Structure 1
Amino acid sequence: MKFTFAHNNINVFDLEKSLNFYKQALGLVETRRKEASDGSFILVFLGDDTTPHKLELTWLRDRTEPYDLGDNEIHIAFTADDYEAAHVLHKEMDCICYENESMGIYFIEDPDGYWVEILPQKR
């Protein structure tokens, strides 16, 4: 028996704001969308045009407050083929929330407070 990753999911409060962030910060593009017939939710799958792995953003119509991420001890990670240029972009976007220079990594924060780790392609 073999399992392969399909996608990771996060819930987002403002779908358009999140879609814009993931496009600008990471170059992710929408690959699929599912909208509930009653309008109660929208699922948007984002891809990197390289791997089959997807990030699923879930928007819930009845959500009235931003999500409480608790200790926010989970994250997703991306490698950057040009780590220095990625760092410049994210610094300009003012979304870097933590840097660990000794490990050669940093984290950016999305509009809902989720952290995304940025790694150089070759470590």
Structure 2
Amino acid sequence: MEFKFVHNNFNVLDLERSLKFYAEALKLKEVRRIAPASGEFIIVYLSDGSSKHLLELTWMRDRTEPYDLGDEEFHLAFETDDYAGALAKHKAMGCVAFENKEMGIYFIQDPDDYWLEILPTK
């Protein structure tokens, strides 16, 4: 029996705002969408174009309150081949939540306060 990672899910309050953020901040592109006729939810899968792992964004029509993210101790991690350029871009976007210069990493925060770790390619 084998298992493989397929996707991670983040629930979002404003789908269009989140899609814009992920496109601008991480160049993620929509690859699939599930939108039932009832309109009760929309699921959008985003890809980096190189790995098979997807980010699933789920919007629920009746949700109006921000999601409780607990102690924000979970995150997704992304590698970049231009760490300095990425950091400058994310600082200009105003989304850097924490920078750890000693470890050579930083975190950005999406519109729903999910944290995303940015690492230099090794």
* Fold shared by both chains (TM-score > 0.5): yes
Q: Which residue of 2 aligns with 1:74?
A: 74
Structure 2 partner of 1:99 = 99
Per-residue CA distance 1:83-102 (angstroms, 9 max, x = gap): 11100100100100001110
Aligned to 2:27: 27
What is the total number of aligned residue pairs between the two structures?
122
User: Is residue 2:46 matched to residue 1:46?
Assistant: yes
Q: Which residue of 2 aligns with 1:111?
A: 111
Q: C-alpha displacement at 1:65, in angstroms?
A: 1.3
How far has the Cα of 1:34 moved from its partner?
Answer: 0.2
TM-score by length of 1: 0.97
Name the stretch that deviates more: 5-14 or 64-73: 64-73
- Structure 1 stretch 69-78 or stretch 52-61: which is displaced more? 69-78
Name the CA distance, whole Å, in 1 between partners of 2:8 and 2:36: 20
* Distance (whole Å) between structure 1 residues aligned to residue 82 and residue 70 of structure 2: 32
2:83 matches 1:83: yes
* TM-score of the two chains, using structure 2 as the length reference: 0.98
1:24 maps to amino acid: E
Unaligned runs of 5+ in 1: none
The answer to whether structure 1 residue 2 and structure 2 residue 5 are counterparts is no
Matched-pair identity in %: 61
Over aligned residue pairs, what C-alpha RMSD do you find?
0.6
**Cα shift readout 1:53-92 (whole Å, capped 9, x = no counterpart):** 1000000000011212121111000000111110010010
SS of 1:5's equivalent in the other structure is coil
Unmatched tracts of structure 2, length 5 or more: none
